[in-house]
């Protein structure tokens, strides 16, 4: 069976929104560790990685 994936299209026009959404993304992974997040955004990857500690695309 394929790994479950969640596709997240997030706007990058304000970093404050990104921080909030990244915290939510991390909570999703904590509650469902088998899910792989696919985050589509213009935000730099380093900012996402500072909040999402598990693997994501």
Query: Dihedral of CA 44/47/50/56: which sign?
Result: negative
Q: Checking DSSP bridges between strand 5-9 and strand 36-40, what pairing results, if any?
A: parallel
Nearest-CA neighbor of 56 among 38, 41, 43, 35? 38
Question: Given this model, what pLDDT does residue 19 score?
Answer: 86
14/3: higher pLDDT: 3
Do you know the residue count of the chain? 57
Q: Choose between 13 and 40: higher pLDDT.
A: 40
Confidence (pTM):
0.82
* Per-residue confidence band for 46, with pLDDT thresholds at 50, 70 and 90: very high
């Amino acid at each position: 069976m394929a790994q479950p994936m969640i596709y997240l299209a997030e706007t990058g026009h304000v970093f404050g929104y990104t921080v909030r959404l990244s915290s939510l993304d991390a909570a999703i992974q904590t509650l469902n560790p088998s899910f792989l997040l696919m985050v589509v955004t213009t935000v730099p990857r380093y900012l996402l990685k500072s909040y999402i500690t598990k693997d994501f695309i």
